[in-house]
Structure 1
Amino acid sequence: MSVCTLTNSGSTALYESTVLLRRNVRRYQLLNGAERHCLWNHGVQNLFLRGQPYILKQKGMRVEAGWFFKGSGSDKRLDASIEHSESANEDILIFFFQLDLATRVQYALNLEQYDIAQQLRSRLDEVEEEVIRQQNSKKGSTSKVDAQDQGIRLLRLRAELQNAIDTENYAVAAELRDEISKIEAESLAASAKALAYENVQYAFRLGQKVRHKIFGYRGVICGMDPVCCESKAWMETANVANLSSGSNQPFYQVLVDVHEDPELLVAYVPQENLVAPEKPDLGRFDHPYASFLFYGVDSAGNFIPIKQLREKYNQPRFEVPSDPEDEDDREGA
């Protein structure tokens, strides 16, 4: 994913982090939930970003692994941190390990190691089921089994309500009526959310470079939701209620340029707080996730998302518009 630059008193050496990352990948795949979350935040992030000290035995000196540049100010970084999203960060990591498992399955098949391939395939199926469950949860949709269970529950509650009315047990009838109303309201909200996913129009696309209107940092779009899918606590911290469009607008997972803010990493930003550069942004952009989410950059300086990322968000492939002057030059040649 990255090569960390190690510096100390003017002496420079390179420490390739691929081996350590692979060890963490294997450990990550064996853990669940909070354990994976803890491993990432206290392990891999420390290696890439936070400057934890490591010993370089060959040179016999103590060095610190981390970015050799800093952000543009602690106050700015503190303010921008309100949009930091751990859930978006974990979503990207799960996507990475899904890709990694698929690659390992194909590699085992190429070597005719069918037992290993089957074991990896089973684990990949579990990951894919979890990804689908999370996506459905975001969209407000449920599985057919859950929908059937909810329908049966509503029928049972309505039958109990009618029985309570017939027996003049009005206290129980009132409780049942409230419960039915709650389930129907949740179902209506879920339907509205699912409809939003189908009809949403995004102002920005995957891989596009953007700038934050308030905090000013540069970023790249790597994910999108038609409405805010974060927790109520996160929305309160991020002051979502004070936005002109509130939570009912597209929100984007944004990789933040580590040159400008090495600690923010992944932000979850409302559409109204982002703006596309007026001119092509051909400047350098660094982020440890860019290498596995994108193929590279196009002639306009935007990143080209990999096929799996486009499929995840059901986004079409974007083609950079051709320059008529370039076409005229080619025809003249």
Structure 2
Amino acid sequence: MMPQGVPWQLGLLLLVVPVQYFLTTWKPTSDLERRDTIHQLAWKFESWRANTFNAVTWKKWFQQKYNQIVYFLEGRTQPIYGDDDEGESPAVEVLDYLDKNGHFAGSSEPRIKRPSNVKFRVGQVIKHKVRGYRGIIIGWDETAKAPEDWFRQMHPADKPHWKKMPNYSILVDTRDISAALITYVPQENIEVISNTRILHPQIDDYFEMYDGTRYLARPWLKHIYPHDQ
């Protein structure tokens, strides 16, 4: 018996060919731009395929899309929930805090100076030393900025120094955690890895492309972190 979902994947793969032909024939751009457009199309398809067929069940996928539509129509930011009770995953609504006092590296104030104690940069691919998940850095704070109730819930009592060190917002690879999560991680818990692409539905919101070693920030993100590029 053919595995569930395979017919859909085959159909979509067949659809790529005429789409590619249309882009190369009718899109009025240079050869370089055409190749970049096709590359982005393939990358978005792979990200969608992995998220839909591998990372979550059909029920979760449908619920996620339904919630996105509802939140969009209501003009609200969709909250992200975690299921980790050992710290650093956003078990409370992280996104609801992003525009409040710059929590979770959400401040749009440009980092004019890059502190010497900030070890990592926006766009670098990292791995969590304890949990093992992979992700991309999308922002940092020289010291942790989050609501006190979040600290009480997510930081162990024996780790008070976590608040005083640089903390990083991370887009988590959906192949490692079966949800589109953003985590906020103390510097001592992450390490840079190489030759690794990340799957997450919000990557294109922050980055233009992957250059083989790191993700290149979009202009708005470069403006906030001018010394990270």
Name the TM tier (shorter chain). 0.5 to 0.7
1:78 counterpart SS class: coil
Select the residue among 2, 6, 11 that pairs with 2:7.
11
Question: Cα deviations across residues 213-264 of structure 1 (Å, max 9, x unaligned)?
Answer: 1111111101111111112222122225423733111111101100011236
Residue pair 1:240, 1:247 contacting (<8 A) in 2 also: no
Deviation at 1:298, TM superposition (A): 1.3
Question: Cα deviations across residues 7-58 of structure 1 (Å, max 9, x unaligned)?
Answer: 94643266999x98995575243xxxxxx25xx24xxx7xxxx9xxxxxxxx
Q: Does 1:226 align with 2:142?
A: yes
Q: Does 1:290 align with 2:190?
A: no
Select the residue among 134, 159, 182 that pairs with 2:101.
134
Question: Cα deviations across residues 48-97 of structure 1 (Å, max 9, x unaligned)?
Answer: xx9xxxxxxxxxxxxxxxxxxxxxxxxxx7356x31235543467xxxxx
Give me the TM-score of the superposition, normalised by structure 1: 0.42
Q: In the alignment, which residue of structure 1 is the partner of 2:183? A: 267
Higher helix share: 1
Structure 1 residue identity aligned to 2:147: S
CA RMSD of superposed structures (Å): 3.8
Within 2, Cα distance between the matches of 1:317 and 1:251? 15
Q: In the alignment, which residue of structure 2 is the partner of 1:309? A: 221
Structure 1 residue identity aligned to 2:172: V
Distance of aligned partners of 1:28 and 1:207 in 2 relative to their CA distance in 1, 3 Å threshold: farther
Distance of aligned partners of 1:265 and 1:225 in 2 relative to their CA distance in 1, 3 Å threshold: same
Question: Cα deviations across residues 107-153 of structure 1 (Å, max 9, x unaligned)?
Answer: xxxxxxxxxxxxxxxxxxxxxxxx5x734x899xxxxxxxxxxxxxx
- Report the structure number with the largest CA radius of gyration: 1
2:127 counterpart SS class: strand
Identify the structure with bigger relative contact order (alpha carbons < 8 Å, sequence gap 6+): 2
Q: In the alignment, which residue of structure 2 is the partner of 1:189? A: none
Q: Percent identity?
A: 22
1:34-45 equivalences in 2 (<5 Å): 36-37=76-77, 40-41=78-79
1:220 counterpart SS class: strand
Residue pair 1:221, 1:254 contacting (<8 A) in 2 also: yes
Within 1, Cα distance between the matches of 2:94 and 2:84? 19
Distance of aligned partners of 1:26 and 1:206 in 2 relative to their CA distance in 1, 3 Å threshold: same
Gap runs ≥5 in structure 1: 1-6, 30-35, 51-76, 93-130, 140-195, 319-333
Q: In the alignment, which residue of structure 1 is the partner of 2:89? A: 84
